[in-house]
Amino acid sequence: MLSIVFGVVMGLALGLTGGGGSIFAVPLLIYGLSVDPHSAVAMSLAAVAVTAALGAFEAWLRGVIEVRAALIFAVAGMICAPLGVYLGDQVDQTVVLVLFAALMLVVAARMLIKARRAPLESRVVRARLDTQAADDAGTVCRYSTDGRLRLNAPCSAALIGVGALVGVLSGFFGVGGGFLIVPALILITEMGIHRAVATSLLVISLIGVSGVGSAVVAGRDMNWAILALFVVGGVVGMFMGRALAQRLAGATLQTIFAVAMIVIAVFIGIDRLAG
């Protein structure tokens, strides 16, 4: 079935590229499965939340998630995700899709820059513990000598602020927000890239649940049959991606996905603006 096939594509992208892969979900639902844009946003959130939750559970078993930081980040996002859903309901579907295409271009540009300037960080994260934390004197959240992240007032405020922004964007566009969460965690904390992405999976799943709940309450149509098959495909694709990433992940792969995003974004823009 096409729902499973497209779900595999979404999951494969998420598993291979880490943050940013789930951005394919919305266009796949709209153009591949003929779901209307507002419903596609809600269904994308649900699919991404379930897929990320499984990845987060695996990372938790490995002990590589900063649970306390993730919960602070996620609570702020969960509170603000309904605002994003509400704003999305107030905006014309064409405008939402054009803005989504612009977001895809921004994410693609970031992926291309990262693949060029920091090829090691363009590798998908396979949730394992980083033994060396980022050495950045500008970070707000730092680790104490006992290895625990110090969640003082400035650190918590930074996590809350970025979490709120990610929540609004997730609710509005139906994306997981990993492309924002991961760099934010690396910027404001001493987390290494692997721990940051593992932590982001928990954040994505929790914010996604809030966004989906808000969408359902707002009365958005959810095709549960398509969604269930899409999720099944997404889960299969994610684990396939994580397995293939051992050989394929890297700057070249990141570049390929970035180019694919640009092509899709241009197509969406032309389709909506020309129509």
3-state secondary structure of 133: coil
User: Concatenated DSSP letters for 11-72?
Assistant: HHHHHHHSTTGGGGHHHIIIIIH---HHHHHHHHHHHHHHHHHHHHHHHHHTT---HHHHHH
* CB-CB contact of 52 with 176 (8 Å): yes
> Model-level pTM?
0.76
Supply the pLDDT for residue 127: 33
Supply the pLDDT for residue 248: 60
Supply the pLDDT for residue 132: 42
- In whole angstroms, give the CA distance from residue 129 to residue 80: 30
Longest dimension (CA), the chain: 59
Question: Residue 223: what are its φ and ψ, rounded to 5°?
Answer: -85, 95
Supply the pLDDT for residue 17: 62
Burial class (CB within 10 angstroms; exposed 0-12, middle 13-18, buried 19+) of 161: middle
- In whole angstroms, give the CA distance from residue 183 to residue 21: 15
Supply the pLDDT for residue 4: 93
Cβ neighbours for 173, distance < 8 A, ≥ 6 positions apart: 26, 41, 84, 88, 96, 99, 100, 103
Supply the pLDDT for residue 130: 40
pLDDT per residue rounded down to tens, the chain (275 residues) = 789 999 988 888 776 665 556 678 888 898 889 998 888 888 988 888 888 888 888 888 988 889 999 999 999 999 998 998 899 889 888 888 888 888 888 878 877 887 676 555 544 433 333 434 444 445 788 887 777 888 889 899 999 999 999 889 888 887 767 767 877 887 788 777 678 878 888 898 898 888 888 888 888 888 899 999 999 998 898 788 767 766 665 667 677 777 888 888 898 888 888 76
Supply the pLDDT for residue 5: 92
Which pair of structure tokens corresponds to residue 47?
Answer: 């699919």
- In whole angstroms, give the CA distance from residue 162 to residue 189: 12
